[in-house]
Structure 1
């Protein structure tokens, strides 16, 4: 298949996934780091493995690179079984978190290092290094040493070196974690643009939710060595399949509830804790009487001063503003409910001045639409 543009993906000629992970397990003594993971990734995807410390994402990446062998299962890349294939013989390269640039070599020498080790002709190395410098917008930096570069420039050199050998699969191990926020955000867009221009399949490991949401065409949330949900960023954020995913990806207010009624297009969830009902536009995950969780994203909630006689009702809570955080582009309100529970409500700052719709200690009503209610199994 040809180069991939604009995030489009393709499969192999026989319609098999470009990268197939089949039942991979890796244990370290009594600890299972990767637990029976199966996953398909298509050619040209920018795929993110997202999880906290100890979730198994880095171990899985090392298995793909051949740096760690699985105890069971296999990895098939572009139709070739990678079992027993050493790292240097795989059509795979890796961009490490530390960048691992050689300090005594120039930028050009770092980029061309892998090609020199393969015995490529000098002219071919020179041309490829020039091509990579142009790709990462660092023409004119070839003679500099890594110590003379900024953090973002070092990241681009490491990426250029990783791509110089034209790998079929590029693995990125938290490559932007050392950069400050503004530089990290700028580099994310550069990384995304480079991936689209080259058409190389990227798999990135990150614990940064915003990074995964920004970069990935699809992502997998990992926990305790398992994949708990796989999908596009929008699918996983808007339709989490568990309390863990709703709480891990983004911010969510989560409540206990019981299915009171459910149909094919709507559900009613009774909350004894709050003394009210959640009405969801989506069907319930089980029959009446089933315990569930209800999740509400702060940005999907509306807040206004409550009328003196306001009471709780369907998709409505009344409380008092106990704290307000100003983030520049939005406000975050902490609203204390009568039972002592606090919920978070975010509202965009649509005015140039810091005017707020409500203030500290205001009695407020918090409401939401039925399509904002996420009903999750326990």
Structure 2
């Protein structure tokens, strides 16, 4: 899913980059609208940081173009682009105070002292660090250092801000708080943000749209809920959140969808594959229901029968591991809404797992 062409602010066309025999970027095509908070999501080595560095001008692609507001900036040096970058390490100058760090780029641009002072004060207010201008980075918490790095990156008023794993050094609670801060600051400034992260929850919590990358390619682009609920491949289904993958055979296909059968399960899902076709189906753990049950066969559509092998208590709920006939495994997540401390079913018991009709997603690739 791309923004309408007349609203496209950043366009990447056929970008390729190799490091020796490795294709870091393999024909990347991407469009981002002005004012978006866009996330690049993928595992280590998938190409997301290389793409970010090509956008920043820190790497030159072997082929393809980068256009910003219609201008080809592919060969433009980094310092000449209306682009700034917030690095994973924050890269704050330890010998400078907070105000000096924020002002550094402005001094390099030779702005008048009065303008610099006003801009620094505005940035400190934006990131809620008024009164911290005289402190050194060593006197700040991790979250405060992240805010200073963000303020410095925004001080030059870039049209595009690139953030490379900006919150990876923070603990969970602080990270979640900073996610909300980043979203709020992006909304207030209207600056287009492109965030690189390997954290699926972070990308879904922050982004207006995201792209999942694998081996130098964008394998799916869309709104977080779109990509999560309708993954287009096994890779996306398993990478973005948790997914149960069941492989079965289409036994019938008609107006109501396709019937898929496998050892211990029956699925009715949207689609029209011909009988006999082998398909893979993704079902999210939280979309499943579990109850104690005898083991008659065969199961009805959108049911699976098996044996409970393990239970994990996770505070907010339980995770059940079910083994079906034939060895397929299901992970079932159920919220703990009544402060129950004991699981309703014990390992070794026969169970019935069921789900609503819209839960199964037949993977297309």
Sort the TM-score into its range (normalised by shorter chain): over 0.9
Q: Does 1:65 align with 2:56?
A: yes
Structure 2: any 5+ residue segments left out of the alignment?
A: none
Displacement of 1:356 after TM fit? 2.8
Cα shift readout 1:7-47 (whole Å, capped 9, x = no counterpart): xx987xx9251000011101112111000011100000000
Contact in 2 for aligned 1:264/1:283 (Cα 8 Å): no
Contact in 1 for aligned 2:246/2:328 (Cα 8 Å): no
Partner in structure 2 of residue 346 of structure 1: 333
* Residue of structure 1 aligned with 2:284, choices 262, 276, 297: 297
Q: Does 1:279 align with 2:264?
A: no
TM-score by length of 1: 0.92
* Residue of structure 1 aligned with 2:302, choices 315, 321, 325: 315
Indicate the SS of the match to 2:17. strand
Cα separation, 2, equivalents of 1:98 and 1:276: 48
Indicate the SS of the match to 1:170. strand
TM-score by length of 2: 0.96
Displacement of 1:237 after TM fit? 0.4
Indicate the SS of the match to 2:205. helix
Partner in structure 1 of residue 355 of structure 2: 368
Cα separation, 1, equivalents of 2:324 and 2:256: 30
Partner in structure 1 of residue 135 of structure 2: 144
Cα separation, 2, equivalents of 1:10 and 1:200: 16
Q: Does 1:336 align with 2:327?
A: no
Moved over 4 A (4+): 308-311
Displacement of 1:155 after TM fit? 0.5
Cα separation, 2, equivalents of 1:337 and 1:268: 18
Q: Does 1:103 align with 2:91?
A: no
Cα separation, 2, equivalents of 1:19 and 1:37: 13
Alignment of 1:202-281 (within 5 A): 202-263=193-254, 266-271=257-262, 274-280=263-269
Moved more, 119-128 or 309-318: 309-318
Alignment of 1:26-105 (within 5 A): 26-105=17-96
Cα separation, 2, equivalents of 1:360 and 1:353: 17
Displacement of 1:292 after TM fit? 1.5
Displacement of 1:275 after TM fit? 4.6
Structure 1: any 5+ residue segments left out of the alignment?
A: 1-8
Contact in 2 for aligned 1:173/1:206 (Cα 8 Å): yes
Cα separation, 2, equivalents of 1:140 and 1:251: 44
Indicate the SS of the match to 2:358. helix
Cα separation, 2, equivalents of 1:224 and 1:320: 37
| Aligned alpha-carbon RMSD (Å) | 1.7
* Residue of structure 2 aligned with 1:162, choices 139, 148, 153: 153
Partner in structure 2 of residue 182 of structure 1: 173
Cα separation, 2, equivalents of 1:223 and 1:210: 18
Indicate the SS of the match to 1:141. coil
Partner in structure 2 of residue 5 of structure 1: none
Cα separation, 1, equivalents of 2:254 and 2:51: 40
Evaluate the alpha carbon distance shift between residue 375 and residue 181 of structure 1 in structure 2; reply closer, same or farther with a 3 A threshold.
same
Contact in 2 for aligned 1:75/1:81 (Cα 8 Å): yes
Partner in structure 1 of residue 121 of structure 2: 130
Indicate the SS of the match to 2:16. strand
Cα separation, 1, equivalents of 2:48 and 2:345: 42
Cα separation, 1, equivalents of 2:3 and 2:148: 28
Cα separation, 2, equivalents of 1:91 and 1:71: 22
